[in-house]
Amino acid sequence: MGVNESVLFNQDNYALGILQSLRANGFKITVENFGVRYSSIRHLNQFPVDKIKIDPSFIQHMGQDDNAAAIIESVIRLGHAMGVSVTARGVDSEEKRAALAQVGCNELQGPLFSNALSEQRVTTLLASASPPDGVHS
């Protein structure tokens, strides 16, 4: 379940109770757009999250701005040090994919792999997919 950081960090006690309940029921919690508005290490440590997603605005400036690369690498290290998976959003080139892989980013999303798909397109793709070997419907 993805939670935008502004919703998460504006209502600490209320949000914490909801997140704890969701996790107790098996949901994985992701902080979307990490590092853009309200994020802080205190918040990341306080709330039970499983993943953070680096905002595409940082990824967009990779290769053009040394600070963007430093911020991205720092977020990845921070996430790993806290036992949180890190996803980079907005990956649009092979060069960015390779650089993110080199610094240990766990997952990548963006137009390099696929543009956003409609619900109907996802349903069609899943319906046409063959089940893995040994799985019968």
- Predicted local distance difference test score (pLDDT) of residue 125: 86
Instruction: Give me 36's structure tokens.
Output: 């853009």
> Is 28 within the bounds of a domain?
yes
Count structural domains, the chain.
1
Parent domain of 27: 2-124
Mean pLDDT of 98-115: 94
Task: Confirm whether 92 is domain-assigned.
Answer: yes
Structural domain includes residue 134: no
The count of C-alpha atoms lying within 13 angstroms of the C-alpha of 70, restricted to the half-sphere facing its C-beta, is 3
Using alpha carbons only, what angle is made at residue 130 by residues 128 and 136, rounded to the nearest 5 degrees?
A: 125
The pLDDT score that the predictor gives to residue 80 is 93
Average model confidence (pLDDT) for the chain? 81
d(CA 61, CA 53): 16
Is 42 domain-assigned? Answer: yes
Domain presence at residue 79: yes
pTM of the model: 0.66
Nearest C-alpha neighbor of 37 from the set 70, 84, 62, 4: 4
Question: Which pLDDT does position 41 carry in this prediction?
Answer: 63
Decide if 65 is inside a domain: yes
